[in-house]
Structure 1
Amino acid sequence: MTALKFCANISWLFTELPEFSQRAQAAARAGFQAVEAAWLYDSDPGELRKVTEQTGLEVALINTPPGDLKSGDLGLGAVPGREQDFRQGLALAINFAKTLDCKRIHVMAGRVPAGLQRSATSMEMEATFVQNLRYAADVLAKEGILGLIEPINTRVTDPQYFLDSPHQAAEILQKVDRPNIKLQMDVYHWQIMDGNLTQNIQKYFPLIGHVQVAQVPDRHEPDSPGEVNFPYLFNLLEKLGYQGYVGCEYKPMGSTEAGLDWVRKYWGGKK
C-alpha cells in the first residue's frame, strides 16, 4: 500500500502568519509536500510561486472565486443568470493556477439565491451547474487542469449551499460526463450529511479526485475528540490505492504547529 500524501490548507493552517507565502514556508518546514488554499485572489501569486520553487512545495488545489461575498455569494457554478460572472471567475482561477503550476481547481457551486426555496429552483440550478461544468471541463482540459466539485454540508456549515451530498454530486458528474471533472471528498461534510463513510468512499472512489479532512463535530485536528476514526479511514484510502493529496482543512485547537502530532505520527509509521 502506498502512503498517503498530505497538503496543508493555508487558508486554515498557519494563520498565525499573515501572508500566504509565509504560511507556505511554515508548511514546508513542518514537513508537508504541498499546500492548498481557498481564495488567493487578494495576494500576489508570484510571491507564493517563489516559495514553492525554493521549497519544492506543490500547490495542490485552489478554489474558483466566490463572487461577491458581501452580497451572499459563495461560488457561482450553479447560480442561474450568473454564467458570465462564472466564466470570468474561472478564467481568473486558471490564470492563478498556471502561475502556481496548480493542477486542481475546485469549481464552487454556490448558494440557493436569497428568497428562493431549494425545491423550487433545484432543477434549474442543476441544469446551470451541468452546463457550466461542461464549459469548465473543455477550458480546463486545454490547460491540463482537473476540475473538482465539493459537497458542503447544509446542516451546520451553510444551509443555502446547493451541492450538499456525495449522492447529488455523483448524479451531476454523471450528467456532465467529462473525465476531467471529479469529486472532492471532504470527510467533515460527508460525515455530517450522510455518515456511512466506508460504503460511500468505496462506492464513489472512482470519482474522487481530492480528499480533505477535519474531525467532526468541531472541525479540529483529525486526532481531536470526535466521531471519525481517521486511522481507519487513512488505512481504507491506502487499501483503495488513493494517489492524490489529502488536504488538511481544519481549525487548529491551538497553534498549528502544536496540533501536528497526528500527521507526524502517520509519517513516522510509514518510514
Structure 2
Amino acid sequence: MAPLKFCANISWLFTEIPDFTQRIYAAVSAGFQAVEAAWLYDCDLQELQRAREATGVEVVLINTPPGDVKAGDLGLGAVPGREAEFRQGLDLALKYARALDCKRIHLMAGRVPVGSHRMAVAKEMEAIFVQNLNYAADMLSKEGITGLIEPINTRITDPRYFLDSPHQAAAILEKVGKPNIKLQMDVFHWQIMDGNLTHNIHKYFPIIGHVQIAQVPGRNEPDSAGELDYSYLLNTLKDHDYQGYIGCEYKPLGFTEEGLGWIREYCTHSK
C-alpha cells in the first residue's frame, strides 16, 4: 500500500514569506514535493513557471477566480446571473493550469446572494451549478483536468456559502454525472457540518478527488489541540488506498516549518 502524500497550500502555509512565488521554494526546502494554492492570479505566470521548473515541484490544485471579492464574491459557479463571468474565470484558471501542468481545479460554488433566503434560491442555484459544472467538465476533459467541488461550512467559516455539506455535493455530482468532476473533501469543513467522518469517508470515497486537512476548531496544524485524531483519520485514508495528495490547508501557530513535525511523525509511525 502506497504511503500518503502531502502538499503545501501556499495560500495558508509559509505566509511569513510575503512573495507568493518564493513560497514555492520554501515549501520544497521544507520537504514538500507538491504545492496547491487558492488564487495565483495576482502573480506573474512566468515567474510561477520558473519556480515550478527550477524546483521540480508539482502544482496539484488551484481554484477558479473568486469574482469581485470586495463586493462579497467567493466563487461564481452557482450564482444566478453570473454564468458568463464563471466561464471567463474558468478560462483564466485553465490558462494557469496549462502553464503549470496542474491537473485539478476547484470550481467554487459561491455565496447565496445578499438579501436572498437560502431555501428560496436553493433550486435555482443548484440548477445553475449543475449547468456550469457540465460546461466545465467538457472544457476540462480536453485538457485532462479534474474539476472539484468543495463544501465549505456555514456554521463558522462562511454562513452564506451555497455548497456546505458532502451530502449536498454528492447529490449535485450525481446530477452532473461526469467522471472528471469530483468531490473535494476538506476534513475541517466536513467535521464542523456533519462529523461522522469515518462513515462519510467510506460512503463518499469513490467520488473523492482531493483531500485537505486542518485541526478543528482552530484550523491549525493537525497535531495541535482540537477534536480530531489525525493519526486515525490519515490511517483511514491509507486503508482506503487513497492515491492523491492531501493538502495542508491550515493556519500555522508559528513559523510554518516549525510546525511540520506532525508529517514526519506520521510518516515514521505509518511505515
**Pairing 1:191-210 to 2, within 5 Å after superposition:** 191-210=191-210
**Structure 1 residue matching 2:232: 3-state secondary structure:** helix
Distance in 2 (alpha carbons) for counterparts of 1:20 and 1:34? 15
Q: Would you say how many aligned residue pairs link Structure 1 and Structure 2?
A: 271
Distance in 2 (alpha carbons) for counterparts of 1:258 and 1:95? 35
**Structure 2 residue matching 1:143: 3-state secondary structure:** coil
Give the structure 1 partner of residue 157 of structure 2: 157
**Structure 2 residue matching 1:61: 3-state secondary structure:** strand
The one-letter code of the counterpart of 1:213 is: I
- Give the CA deviation at 1:162: 0.1
For structure 1, the 5+ residue unaligned runs are: none
- Give the CA deviation at 1:48: 1.8
Give the structure 2 partner of residue 138 of structure 1: 138
TM-score (norm 1): 0.99
Give the structure 1 partner of residue 116 of structure 2: 116
**Pairing 1:171-250 to 2, within 5 Å after superposition:** 171-250=171-250
Contact 2:21-2:43 within 8 A present in 1 as well: no
Give the structure 2 partner of residue 21 of structure 1: 21
Give the structure 1 partner of residue 103 of structure 2: 103
Give the structure 2 partner of residue 167 of structure 1: 167
* 1:54-74 superposed Cα distances (whole Å, 9 cap, x missing partner): 222100000000000011100
The one-letter code of the counterpart of 2:148 is: L
Matched, 1:12 2:12: yes
Range that drifts further, 43-52 or 107-116: 43-52
- Give the CA deviation at 1:269: 3.6
Contact 2:103-2:144 within 8 A present in 1 as well: yes
Distance in 2 (alpha carbons) for counterparts of 1:264 and 1:209? 24
- Give the CA deviation at 1:264: 1.7
Distance in 1 (alpha carbons) for counterparts of 2:18 and 2:233? 33
Distance in 2 (alpha carbons) for counterparts of 1:156 and 1:270? 32
Give the structure 1 partner of residue 91 of structure 2: 91
The one-letter code of the counterpart of 2:179 is: P
- Give the CA deviation at 1:270: 5.1
**RMSD of equivalent CA atoms:** 0.8
The one-letter code of the counterpart of 1:146 is: T
Distance in 1 (alpha carbons) for counterparts of 2:207 and 2:49? 29
- Give the CA deviation at 1:45: 2.1
- Give the CA deviation at 1:50: 1.3
The one-letter code of the counterpart of 1:176 is: V
- Give the CA deviation at 1:18: 1.3
The one-letter code of the counterpart of 1:59 is: V
- Give the CA deviation at 1:53: 1.4
Contact 2:77-2:107 within 8 A present in 1 as well: yes
The one-letter code of the counterpart of 1:251 is: K
**Structure 1 residue matching 2:253: 3-state secondary structure:** coil
Contact 2:211-2:246 within 8 A present in 1 as well: yes
**Structure 1 residue matching 2:79: 3-state secondary structure:** coil
Distance in 2 (alpha carbons) for counterparts of 1:102 and 1:12? 19
Once superposed, which parts of structure 1, at least 4 consecutive aligned residues long, lie more than 6 Å away? none
Range that drifts further, 36-45 or 184-193: 36-45
Distance in 2 (alpha carbons) for counterparts of 1:112 and 1:101? 32
**Structure 2 residue matching 1:148: 3-state secondary structure:** strand
The one-letter code of the counterpart of 1:237 is: L
Distance in 2 (alpha carbons) for counterparts of 1:77 and 1:52? 29
- Give the CA deviation at 1:266: 2.3
Distance in 2 (alpha carbons) for counterparts of 1:257 and 1:116? 43
Distance in 2 (alpha carbons) for counterparts of 1:217 and 1:105? 26
Distance in 2 (alpha carbons) for counterparts of 1:196 and 1:46? 43
TM-score (norm 2): 0.99
Distance in 2 (alpha carbons) for counterparts of 1:20 and 1:215? 24
The one-letter code of the counterpart of 2:130 is: V
Give the structure 2 partner of residue 48 of structure 1: 48
**Structure 1 residue matching 2:8: 3-state secondary structure:** strand
